[in-house]
């Protein structure tokens, strides 16, 4: 198997394994006790804290260990909001933050606070000026990830931190995805991270609160799994020592995937910023593909990847990141290469992918949904059918509509709200908008006179012929 899901959890680094094993013999006692075993454990904890602080770029007494990255985020947000409660209860987050941040924001709203969610562009990046414009006199805290967990886009943390500092507002940075590669730039106030993202053991998080930041921690005691803490700190130091060389190598491999996948597989959209991105992450979406089916087929071929498609979640809703970006969600694949990923496995992935996608598309070649002409639009009834079927049915009938004619796709699938506009942009068609319907929604598309890569050329002659048939159907028997 080729494990290509390091953004979810990186394999345990060999240094972490060694440190974990060694510290089991020395770090089992309570480091708060004064007897010999306790003092020995305390020395291990202090050494781990010093090593982690050096990697982060902070003072050792500004850093504490938590039971997870999620707990670090929750404690960091709650502590900063509580510490600045007299200033106000306004919180700023981006629309593509990790779910732990967004859930904390929802709880803040339920508790009477206010939240501004800053949008992103099509690459998944925020605008630093947009954060600046969101700042208010009652803003207690701003939160921004250093890099996105689904598409790898790096955020302008330094620019946002500068604007927050000028306004006297602390900035919390979720550095879970990037801390294993480098320090986070900018004058940030609070930072969180998770050890299993860089090859440390699961169940260890970092919370850094700079001196001078008003912070009211609800949890006074530090997490105490000392062997795991020692292993986390040791692995962070190890991965950072090799990060420069490995980042160059992985960036070349993911760049190869970004370039060749659209050449090898038709109807693919590669998402995320092509330059400002994490070294090992590349994400793309395939039209007319069920995300869950594609992941299963790739797993059979020996590749472990992840997906933000709605088909892979129990809620049947697309990834909030892909939705915020306004990109295609169906058939989504995230490849996140771990440290040491072999070039041969990447090449094998590129060899296997085209046939795998083609096989899934062939299986989804369902009969055309009932299509009728109603008033001036062709109506495709895709109610009760899940992604990617509504887009597949739209693609099947668009050629039967004259240039300038419209198609109304009826769908009650949440993913259609994102995928149909994305399909139109990819295929050069005009998305008019969403209209209410008796069930679900009607998504209206106008046929444009363009050449489709996988279809025939649309010209004046074809348009006239189809137009005559279309008008005859619309007017009824003559």
pLDDT of residue 368: 42
Domain 244-362, second-level architecture:
Alpha-Beta Complex (3.90)
Which of 235-249, 324-338, 442-456 has the weakest average pLDDT?
Answer: 442-456
Statement: residue 182 has pLDDT above 50: yes
Statement: residue 149 has pLDDT above 80: yes
Under the banding of pLDDT at 50, 70 and 90, the label for residue 316 is low
Under the banding of pLDDT at 50, 70 and 90, the label for residue 317 is low
pLDDT of residue 363: 86
What DSSP designation does 6 have? T
Distances (CA, A) of 218 to 81, 364, 458: 11, 51, 64
Statement: residue 469 has pLDDT above 50: no
Statement: residue 293 has pLDDT above 80: yes
Catalytic residue among 58, 164, 286, 311: 311
The secondary structure of 427-451 as a DSSP string is: HTPEEEEEEE-SSSEEEEEE-----
- Arithmetic mean of pLDDT, 248-273: 95
pLDDT of residue 476: 35
Nearest to 112 by CA among 144, 152, 81: 81
Query: Where are the domain boundaries for CATH 3.30.110.40 in the chain?
Result: 371-475
Under the banding of pLDDT at 50, 70 and 90, the label for residue 473 is very low
Under the banding of pLDDT at 50, 70 and 90, the label for residue 190 is very high
Statement: residue 219 has pLDDT above 70: no
Distances (CA, A) of 405 to 7, 39, 400, 456, 468: 44, 79, 9, 17, 12
**3-class DSSP assignment, residue 181:** coil
pLDDT of residue 313: 54
pLDDT of residue 254: 97
Statement: residue 435 has pLDDT above 50: yes
Nearest to 341 by CA among 416, 405, 282, 408: 282
Statement: residue 408 has pLDDT above 60: yes
Distance CA(66)–CA(73), nearest Å, equals 10
The secondary structure of 24-73 as a DSSP string is: HHHS-S-TT--SHHHHHHHHHHHHHHHHHHHHHTS-GGGEEEES-HHHHH
pLDDT of residue 450: 57
Under the banding of pLDDT at 50, 70 and 90, the label for residue 366 is very low
What share of the chain has pLDDT > 70, as a percent?
Answer: 89
Dihedrals phi, psi of 301, to nearest 5 degrees: -85, -5
Under the banding of pLDDT at 50, 70 and 90, the label for residue 79 is very high
The secondary structure of 219-283 as a DSSP string is: --SPP--HHHHHHHHHHHHHHHHSHHHHHHHHHHHHHHHHHHHHHHSSSEEEES-SSSB-TTEEE
Under the banding of pLDDT at 50, 70 and 90, the label for residue 133 is very high
Residues whose CB is less than 8 angstroms from the CB of residue 221 and which lie 6 or more positions away in sequence, other chains included: none
Under the banding of pLDDT at 50, 70 and 90, the label for residue 314 is low
Distances (CA, A) of 428 to 154, 219, 421: 29, 54, 10
Catalytic-residue membership of 286? no
Instruction: Name the fold adopted by 9-241.
Output: 3.40.640
- Arithmetic mean of pLDDT, 163-184: 97
Under the banding of pLDDT at 50, 70 and 90, the label for residue 375 is low
Statement: residue 213 has pLDDT above 70: yes
**Across the chain, how many H-helices and E-strands are there?**
14, 17
pLDDT of residue 224: 72
**Strands 430-436 and 441-446, how do they pair?**
antiparallel
- Arithmetic mean of pLDDT, 68-82: 95
Q: CB–CB of 207/72 below 8 Å?
A: yes
Query: Where are the domain boundaries for CATH 3.40.640.10 in the chain?
Result: 9-241
Distance CA(76)–CA(63), nearest Å, equals 12
Statement: residue 381 has pLDDT above 60: yes
CATH of domain 371-475: 3.30.110.40
Statement: residue 461 has pLDDT above 60: no
Query: Where are the domain boundaries for CATH 3.90.1150.10 in the chain?
Result: 244-362
**Average of per-residue pLDDT values in the chain:** 88
- Arithmetic mean of pLDDT, 350-367: 84
């Amino acid at each position: 198997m080729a494990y290509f899901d390091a953004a979810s959890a990186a394999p345990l680094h060999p240094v972490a394994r060694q440190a974990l094993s060694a510290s089991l013999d020395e770090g089992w006692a309570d480091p708060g006790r004064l007897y010999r075993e306790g003092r020995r454990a305390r020395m291990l904890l202090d050494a781990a804290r010093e090593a982690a602080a050096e990697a982060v770029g902070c003072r050792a007494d500004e850093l504490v260990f938590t039971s997870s990255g999620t707990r670090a985020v929750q404690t960091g947000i709650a502590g900063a909001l509580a510490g600045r409660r007299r200033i106000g209860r306004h919180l700023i987050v981006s629309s593509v933050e990790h779910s732990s941040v967004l859930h904390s924001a929802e709880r803040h709203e339920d508790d009477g606070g206010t939240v501004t969610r800053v949008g992103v562009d099509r690459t998944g990046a925020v605008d630093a000026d947009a954060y600046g414009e969101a700042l208010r006199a009652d803003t207690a805290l701003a939160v921004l990830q250093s890099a996105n967990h689904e598409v790898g886009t790096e955020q302008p943390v330094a620019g946002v931190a500068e604007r927050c500092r000028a306004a006297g507002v602390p900035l919390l940075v979720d550095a879970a995805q990037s801390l294993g590669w480098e320090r986070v730039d900018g004058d940030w106030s609070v930072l969180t991270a998770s050890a299993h993202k860089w090859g440390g053991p699961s169940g260890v998080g970092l919370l850094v609160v700079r001196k001078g930041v008003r912070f009211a921690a609800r949890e006074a005691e530090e997490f105490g799994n000392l062997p795991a803490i020692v292993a986390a700190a040791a692995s962070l130091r190890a991965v950072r020592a090799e990060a420069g060389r490995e980042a160059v190598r992985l960036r070349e491999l993911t760049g190869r995937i970004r370039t060749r996948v659209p050449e090898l597989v038709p109807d693919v959209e590669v998402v995320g910023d092509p330059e400002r991105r994490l070294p090992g992450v590349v994400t793309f979406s395939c039209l007319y593909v069920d995300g869950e089916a594609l992941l299963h087929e790739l797993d059979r071929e020996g590749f472990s990847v992840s997906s933000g498609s709605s088909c892979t979640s129990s809620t049947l809703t697309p990834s909030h990141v892909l939705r915020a970006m306004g990109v295609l969600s169906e058939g989504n694949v995230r490849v996140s290469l771990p440290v040491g990923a072999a070039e041969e496995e990447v090449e094998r992935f590129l060899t296997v992918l085209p046939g795998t996608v083609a096989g899934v598309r062939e299986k989804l070649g369902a009969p055309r949904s009932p299509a009728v002409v109603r008033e001036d639009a062709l109506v495709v009834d895709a109610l009760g059918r899940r992604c990617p079927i509504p887009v597949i049915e739209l693609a099947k009938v668009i050629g039967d509509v004259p240039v300038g004619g419209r198609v109304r796709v009826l769908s009650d699938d949440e993913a259609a709200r994102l995928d149909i506009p994305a399909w139109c942009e990819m295929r050069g068609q005009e998305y008019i908008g969403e209209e209410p319907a008796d069930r679900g929604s009607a998504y209206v598309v106008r046929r444009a006179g363009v050449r489709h890569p996988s279809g025939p050329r649309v010209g004046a002659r074809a348009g006239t012929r189809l137009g005559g048939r279309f008008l005859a159907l619309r007017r009824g028997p003559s």
